[in-house]
A and B are shown apart, each in its own frame.
Chain A
């Protein structure tokens, strides 16, 4: 157990809908990163939040957006869902984003299916 939690665990949506995924970081961690992992692929970086500010973004369209709250929990919002958005969405937290030897710890993930 890493102390990182995500909700919901599973979700089914239809194309065009919107979804919000939630993540609570491990105690003492101020950084949250979100990843999308399609079947048979490695995790792809979506974006990172550090102390409530976006701190980096991967190659994902603007319909993927996020928030980080004062308690360092985070949300991932996806608008206008597409079939290709079906994936495991992973949240990872870390304590010092600028420390080169920093590691991050993953939550259990949310599996999203878009029909």
Chain B
């Protein structure tokens, strides 16, 4: 069974710090990796996608992928209170149709 594991948190960081969110996955055939942000009571919003090993940067967000270790992470630089949300990691495999498997999410709290 494909599994995506995330620490449920909460992860608490001070404003301006770097928040580091981690995700591991069990399916070695996974090819696409996504980070979604979900505010309380709202639907998930895609913030980053990554498909090859290494780092991918978009503004204050950096996604890091290591397929050998089956590990994907999200770094948020200069964290703001508005970044307080649950961050969902999603993974999909190659071949067949695109059906991602989601982790349970990590709750991030950025305190002033």
Beyond A42-B104, A100-B32, whether A106 also contacts B99 by CB under 8 A is: no
Beyond A42-B104, A43-B88, A43-B102, whether A56 also contacts B43 by CB under 8 A is: no
CA distance A92 to B49 in the complex (A): 16
CA distance A31 to B97 in the complex (A): 10
Complex partner residue of B43 from A94, A100, A108, CB under 8 angstroms: A108
B8 with A43: CB separation less than 8 A: no
| B1-50 CB contacts (< 8 Å) to partner A | 4, 6, 8, 31-32, 34, 36, 42-46, 49
Write the residues of chain B forming the contact surface with A, with a CB cutoff of 8 angstroms. Answer: 4, 6, 8, 31-32, 34, 36, 42-46, 49, 51, 88, 90, 92, 94, 96-105
23 contacts between A and B (CB under 8 A): A41-B104, A42-B104, A43-B44, A43-B102, A44-B102, A45-B100, A55-B97, A56-B99, A94-B98, A97-B97, A98-B97, A98-B98, A99-B98, A100-B32, A100-B51, A100-B92, A102-B98, A103-B46, A106-B36, A106-B43, A106-B45, A107-B43, A109-B43
